[in-house]
Amino acid sequence: MDLMTHGGTASESRFAAYVEALSSAVGHADRKAPLKAYCTGLLLPGERKSVEPMAARVAPGRVQAAHQSLHHFVAKAEWSEEAVLAVVRAQVLPVLERQGAMRAWIVDDTGFPKKGTHSVGVARQYCGQLGKQDNCQIAVSLSVANDHASLPIAYRLYLPASWANDADRRAKAGIPEDVVFRTWLCENGRVR
């Protein structure tokens, strides 16, 4: 399946090189194909970016197998998101810096609307994307920016109290003990 209908082989070869660099951070060689399928699914058109609809878009002739592969990659395979982010920074930051020095650090939250309740951290809470309270996940990110672009360099999924205080839910989702409910209190410009 062609990833993009516009841009031709230059875009495709840049995408392939980028995914190849990312694959060095996910461990086993057998994770390379699911990583490529996952990245492709994120870029393809479609409202839902969960593994089932993505599998249907990246492999319409073998949806069930693609779904199983993507689900295993996202939910079961052990790989470090910190290692993947390190590769992303190594690939993208030099390109950004050629366009100008970093001028700002940005801390922001992003809401991801969700239909179900099983994804870690999903709760009825304010979702900036929707402009109201609804079912969503929240991620807090740290980005660097210059006058031309920004790059997320770190992130953390916000864990609502309803998840943090539910031992059964935590165990089922595999949430580590050190991930807890937190609020931030700013006083005189300082985060406590």
Amino acid 192: pLDDT: 46
Give every CB contact of residue 152 below 8 A, 6+ residues apart in sequence: 141, 142, 143
- Higher-confidence residue of 3 and 22: namely 22
CA distance 116 to 121: 11
pLDDT tens, position by position, 1-18: 444 445 568 888 989 999
Closest CA to 140 of 120, 123, 157, 161: 157
Q: What are phi and psi of 62, to 5 degrees?
A: -145, 55
Residue 105 and residue 72 in one domain: no
Residue 2 lies in a domain: no
Residue 51 and residue 107 in one domain: no
Mean pLDDT along residues 25-38: 90
- When pLDDT is cut at 50, 70 and 90, the band that residue 95 belongs to is very high
- Choose the weakest-confidence range: 6-10, 56-60, 148-152, 175-179: 6-10
Find the domain containing 161 and state its range: 101-191
Q: How far is CA 79 from CA 18, 26, 101, 127, in A?
A: 17, 5, 32, 28
* Whether the predicted pLDDT of 175 surpasses 50: yes
- Higher-confidence residue of 4 and 51: namely 51
Residue 67 and residue 135 in one domain: no
Residue 174 and residue 133 in one domain: yes
Two tokens at 74? Answer: 């996202």
Question: Measured between alpha carbons, how far apart are the two ends of the chain, in Å?
Answer: 49
Rounded to whole angstroms, the maximal C-alpha distance in the chain is 58
pLDDT, the chain, mean: 87
156 neighbors 181 (Cβ within 8 angstroms): no
Two tokens at 146? Answer: 């210059």
Residue 68 and residue 136 in one domain: no
| DSSP state letters, 53-81 | HHHHHH-TTSHHHHHHHHHIIIIIS---H
Helix (H, G, I), strand (E, B) or coil at 26: coil
Give every CB contact of residue 100 below 8 A, 6+ residues apart in sequence: 146, 147, 148
Global pTM value:
0.71
Two tokens at 192? Answer: 């406590």
pLDDT tens, position by position, 122-152: 999 999 889 999 999 999 889 999 999 999 9
**How many structural domains comprise the chain?**
2
* Whether the predicted pLDDT of 30 surpasses 60: yes
Q: Which of 43, 76, 109 is the last residue of a domain?
A: 76
- Higher-confidence residue of 5 and 64: namely 64
* Whether the predicted pLDDT of 185 surpasses 90: no
What is the residue whose two structure tokens read 């609809």? 53
